[in-house]
Amino acid sequence: MFDKTRDVAQYIIDPIMFLALVGCYGIKTFFSLLIHFQFGTLFSVSKFKYVWFARFWAVYGPQLAQGPGRDRVKLLIPEVTGVVLDIGPGTGEWLELLDSSKLTKVYGVEPNADHYARLREHIKEAGLADIYEIIPAGVEDLSKYGIELESVDTILTLQCLCSVPNQRQMIRDLYQYLKPNGGKWVLYEHVVTKQKGIIAMYQATIDLVWPHFLGGCSITRNTEKNLREAGEWSKIDLKQPAEEPIYHMVPHVGGVLVK
């Protein structure tokens, strides 16, 4: 009983401790910009948040890719084949898991230019330099880069749908790029809790601060619902990891949807 109470308490405290860690990077970013006289960025809230998150993610992103989610993602990676839209790859922490022998072309859709230097390094390290192309834009501009509707074999989203603007519409737009009769959406995302009452209230309270600290990321998005309703699917296999307790404040869902 004592161990379970301690476990619950840890899950309650973890989001607060995580925000405190991110906050420390915010302070470091502030003084770094001040010392280097980058006042244009320093006194623009949006630009400051952009740089703050990029600097934090450059350190934390690789750690996240080595965490509990790594084994879950590895089980999904064999489904990533053909022409791929890699949405929000960030600095490319997951790229080493891809099997280049199963890939024809990969478009990394990443609008944050602060990630590009490290992303290019990871592309090379993963042996994908010949087939991986960075798309420096959002989903709404994919057609400008020659990517046609119903031309993509696989859409890959790994913990990125939490921060995209107008998530529901973006998911519907991306659905249109999948090939009919077999196009796959492979994902591992954190989502809104399915629990009610105090757990949902606590998660919603944390989310009042979370997006401001983490580049617009929200932990209360109903991503699974939006994916299920994006269009007609011939197969849906989405699950919350069995090892995650019901009181997890940042629960995940992973799996594959087939058009």
Per-residue model confidence as pLDDT tens digits over 71-130? 889 999 999 999 999 999 988 989 999 999 999 999 999 988 878 998 999 999 999 999
Provide φ and ψ at 15, rounded to 5°: -60, -35
Grouping H, G, I as helix, E, B as strand and the rest as coil, residue 231 is coil
pTM (2 d.p.): 0.88
> What is the C-alpha separation between 88 and 85, in angstroms, rounded?
9
CATH tag, 69-258: 3.40.50.150
Assigned token pair, 192: 């809104």
Cα angle 240, 242, 244; round to 5: 80
Sheet holding 154-158, edge to edge: 132-135, 103-109, 82-87, 154-158, 184-190, 252-258, 235-239
Domain boundaries, the chain: 69-258
Segment 120-138, tens digit of pLDDT: 999 999 999 999 999 999 8
Provide φ and ψ at 65, rounded to 5°: -70, -15
Bridge partners (DSSP) of residue 86 are 108, 156
